[in-house]
Structure 1
Amino acid sequence: MGTVTVKLVVVIMITVGLMVEGSRAISLCDMNDEGLEACKPSVTQPDPVDPTPQCCEALKGANLTCLCSYKNSMLLPSLGIDPTLAMGLPAKCSLDMPSDC
C-alpha cells in the first residue's frame, strides 16, 4: 500500500473508533475529552487564542510523541484543528516537543 493509502486507513480507523465510543469519554494520546476541549480554541482558525492553564495542564500529561504522529494527518483538519497551531501548542505551554517531531 502507498503511504497515502495507509494514512487514510489509519484516519478511517480512528474516526470509526471515536464514533463507536459514543457517550464514553474520548482519549487521544493520553489527553481526555476535557483536555482536548480546553485546547481546541488555541488550535482552530481564524482567531486562535493563547492556551488556558487547563489546556497546558492537559498537555503536560499527554504523550507528545503520539501527538506528533498526527502532524501530517488528515484527521486534525477534519476536526477543524490547524496542524501547525497544534504542533506549536506545547511550546506555548513551556513544554518541549520530541526532537524527532
Structure 2
Amino acid sequence: MKRYCLALDLKDDPQLIAQYEHWHKAENSWPEIRKSILDAEILDMQIYRTGNRLFMIMETSDGYEAKRKEAMDALNPKVQEWEQLMWLFQQPLPWAKEGEKWVLMKQIFKL
C-alpha cells in the first residue's frame, strides 16, 4: 500500500467553500466519481480543510499509477464534468505548474 498527500486551495469565499463542502457530502457525491476513484486502485481518500487550504490523503494499492488515473479521467466525460464543476471553487497553489490542481506534498517528518 502507498500513501499520497496532496494540497490545493479553494477560492477564499465562504459561500464557495460551503458549496464545495456540499458537493463532498456523501449524499451529494456522484457515484461515477466514486467508481472512477476505486477503479484507479485508490483504496481510501480523505480531504481535510483549514481556511481555504485543502489537504488530501490517498491510500492506494501498490498497482496505483497517477499517469494511468490521469488517462482514465481524460476519457471519462462524467469525471471531466465533475472537474469543471470543482474548478469553480478551486484555485491553484501559487507554486503549482500550469494546469496542475492537486499538488503532491513532500513528507518532511515521520515518527
TM-score, normalisation: structure 2: 0.29
TM-score, normalisation: structure 1: 0.30
